[in-house]
Amino acid sequence: MDPLNAVLTGLTVNTQSSVRLTDGTRTVYVDPLEIPGEPRDADAVFVTHAHGDHFSPADIAKVAKKDTVLILPETMADRAGEVPGIGSVLTVNPDEAHETAGISFETVPAYNHLPKLFHPKKNRWVGYVIALNGVRVWIAGDTDATPEAEAVKCDIAMVPVGGKYTMTAKEAADLVNRIRPAAAVPTHYGSIVGSPEDGALFLSLLDPSIRGELRLG
């Protein structure tokens, strides 16, 4: 199986923007939420921002093992202590590149355009471009179609489509059509905000050359 298909096969969206990625060797979670059971299989857990539907200490604890690395914005450094049993913590700012637990990643600013104030730029919250087996996966976090988002280079784009707090399905599809990844997966719809139909609408608006996948359970 080629690397892109291998990563897509190992990609799941649990609830909202709760993402699990694996290439068969390393397993990472982004914003784990409503995790069933206690898999405790995370090599790294990435948190995009401080809202309760993205930072859930109880769910992070369900996926963490003794050497799991917790990655979160530096503006949330004081919240890391709320997570029991984490092996180590790495705090990040926008526009950085890091490697931890054998995983390379970059941070992308994630914020709203004014007059929306749900995710202000001053909070320095982020999305992540995570490289697994050479495949670059962008998990956008809660963002609008910002200049920084339009500059992202990735193979798989995971973008919010539920509207109100983030992009609508149309705005997200327009953004993805401009950055032209090989594949795209919608997030942040169907539960707390946005309807189940938003995911299908997003896929219908993608350029035919971009592979659209629905992975929300």
Spatial strand order of the sheet with 126-132 comes to: 97-100, 103-109, 126-132, 135-139, 156-160, 183-187, 211-212
The tens place of each residue's pLDDT in the chain, 217 residues long, gives: 799 999 999 999 988 889 999 998 999 999 999 999 999 999 999 999 999 899 999 999 999 999 999 999 999 999 999 998 787 999 999 999 999 999 999 999 999 988 888 999 999 999 999 999 999 999 999 999 999 999 999 999 999 999 888 999 999 999 999 999 999 999 998 777 777 889 999 999 999 999 999 987 6
Three-class SS state of 5: helix
pTM across the whole model: 0.95
Please report, for the chain, how many H helices and E strands are present, in that order.
5, 13
Are 130 and 156 spatial neighbours (Cβ–Cβ below 8 Å)?
A: no
**Could you tell me the two tokens for 121?**
């730029």
The letter for the amino acid at 158 is M
Count the alpha carbons within 13 Å of 208 in the hemisphere toward its beta carbon.
0
Architecture of domain 3-211: 4-Layer Sandwich (3.60)
167-180 exposure pattern, b = at least 16 Cβ within 10 A, e = fewer: bbbebbbebbeebe
Give the C-alpha separation, 30 to 117, whole Å. Answer: 23
Give the C-alpha separation, 121 to 19, whole Å. Answer: 23
**Residue 22: in which H helix or E strand, if any?**
strand 19-22
Quick one: DSSP state of residue 142? S
Give strand pairing partners of 20.
12, 29
End-to-end CA distance of the chain: 24
Predicted local confidence at residue 84, as pLDDT: 85
The letter for the amino acid at 166 is T
Give strand pairing partners of 127.
108
Give the C-alpha separation, 19 to 16, whole Å. Answer: 9
Are 171 and 189 spatial neighbours (Cβ–Cβ below 8 Å)?
A: no
Predicted local confidence at residue 217, as pLDDT: 64
